[in-house]
Amino acid sequence: MSDTLTAEPPREKLTKKAITADHPTWCPGCGDFAVLACYYKVLEKRQIDHEKIVTLAGIGCSSRFPYFVNGHGAHFIHGRGVPLASGVSLARPDLKVFLFGGDGDGFSIGGNHLEHGARKNINLTYVIMDNFVYGLTKKQTSPTSPIGFKSKTDPQGAIDQPVNAMKKLVASGATFVARTHASQVNHMIQMIERAMDHQGFSVIECLSECVEFFPGAFDPANPRKGGSFEVIDEKKWDNTPEDENRHDTTDELAAYKLAQIPFPGVFGVFYQNDRATKNALEKKWVDSTREKLGQPTDLALLQKTFDRMK
């Protein structure tokens, strides 16, 4: 139970220790450890008020995330993280809403919500830890499993076309779409910070290896494993000839072109625009409605409505 305080106690600096909770239950070597570490780092670096941090998740290995963060948080049901986070975001503009999940949660069972959360441009940051496999249920084909991937549900190798996360997100209307890799900590921190600063539906696909059921899946993009981590060269708008060839993050078609590059593809911000958020549009409606009505009290407002029903 609780003891409510009337006076506001002094605030201490937010440390990694303060935001660390249970020891993660992930398998040793899981890519998700690095994502968690980056999340701690960003929160510490940006000194967000502890109580304003909200960490939400659906179901999956990666969705265990909130248990490992000491802060307000909720572990919801499979695939519905986006609408849960939308409710929190729309009702409480004072909070920093973060959502974590995996490829099954985001692209399969929750695919419809991802689509509409993006379209409505709800102000939140969503990190999808994509490991190309169902890990919590022990190796079934996921919506991002490559064709030919052998799993318990596709012993002959996966036959279904995998989701192209970047294309799906850009097409859905997400206003910040980025891709990163759990082995590239600095890049990941950069992406999380930029996503967090973005007003709107910001999504990061983070390739995060499942060492148990799909080991080595992302080695082709890991320089330490002989791969190459190719970062998108974004336009600097410096009027130089080199800039001509750089990626314009506001160009939707260019984003699709980058998304066409075969696996392991490129990393960085594919797309970003500043379309108005649902949060802002709804608020505008509320504000103008209330202004038109002359800021009445709730009682006066309902009384007036009932007077019209007499």
Partner 1 sequence: MNPTPSLPETNPTALPAPERADLRPENIDDAVIRLAGNSQDGIQSAGAFLARLAGRSAQEVMTYMTIPATISGGPSIFQVRMGTGEVLSAGDEADFLIAFYQHSYQDHIEFLREGGVLLYDSDNVEPNLDDKRYVYVGVPITGLTVEALGGTAKDKGKNIFVLGLIAKIFHLDVEKLTTLIKEKFAGKDESIANTAIMAFTAGYAYPVGNVLARRYQFSTVAKVPGAPDQITMDGNQALAYGLIAAGVRYGSGYPITPWSSVMETLRVELPKYGGLFVQAEDELAAVSITLGFSYSGNLAVTGSAGPGISLKSEAIGWASMAEIPIIIINVQRGGPSTGLPTNVEQSDLFQAIYGGHGDSPRVVLAAKTVEDCFYIAIEAARIARKYSTPVFILSDTSLATRIEAFDEPDLANLMLDPQPDLRPRETFKPYPLDAITQHAAPGTRIIDGKYPLITGLEHDEMGHPTGSPKLHMGMTAKRRAKLQKLADELPVTEVYGEQEGDVLLIGWGSTYGPIHDAVTRARRAGEKIGAIHLRHLNPLPNGLEKLFSNFERVLVVEMNDQGLYGYGQLATLLRARFCEPKIASITKTDGLTYRVKEILGRVFEGKTFPSRTAMHHGDGAVQTGNGATEVAAPLPHDATTAAATARAEAKVSVASDHAGDSTAQRPETYEAVMPSKDQNSTA
Cβ(276)–Cβ(121) under 8 Å? yes
Amino acid (1-letter code) at residue 121: N
Q: Rounded distance, CA 265 to CA 232, Å?
A: 10
- Interface with partner 1, residue 309, by CB under 8 A: yes
- The distance of closest approach from Cβ of residue 149 to partner 1 in the complex, given in angstroms and rounded to an integer, is 28
**Nearest C-alpha neighbor of 207 from the set 75, 77, 30:** 30
Exposed/middle/buried for residue 272 (C-beta within 10 Å: 0-12, 13-18, 19+): buried
Q: Out of 112, 153, 250, 260, point to the residue binding partner 1 (CB under 8 A).
A: 112
Work out whether 87 is an interface residue with partner 1 (CB under 8 A).
Answer: yes
Residue 291 binds partner 1, judged by CB under 8 A = no
Nearest CA to 24 out of 116, 100, 132 is that of 100
Taking CB under 8 A as the criterion, the residue among 41, 75, 150, 235 binding partner 1 is: 75
**N- to C-terminal Cα separation, the chain:** 46
Query: Per CB under 8 A, does 274 bind partner 1?
Result: no
Angle at 133 between CA 83 and CA 109, to 5 degrees: 25
Contact region for partner 1 (CB under 8 A) — 100-108, 164-172, 175-183, 298-306?
Answer: 298-306
Per-residue binding string, partner 1, 35-74, x by CB under 8 A, is: ---------------xxx-x-----------xx--xxxxx
Residues in touch with partner 1 (CB under 8 A): 1-6, 8-9, 18, 21-22, 50-52, 54, 66-67, 70-77, 79-80, 82-92, 94-95, 112-113, 115-116, 282, 285-286, 289-290, 293, 298-299, 301-303, 305-306, 308-310
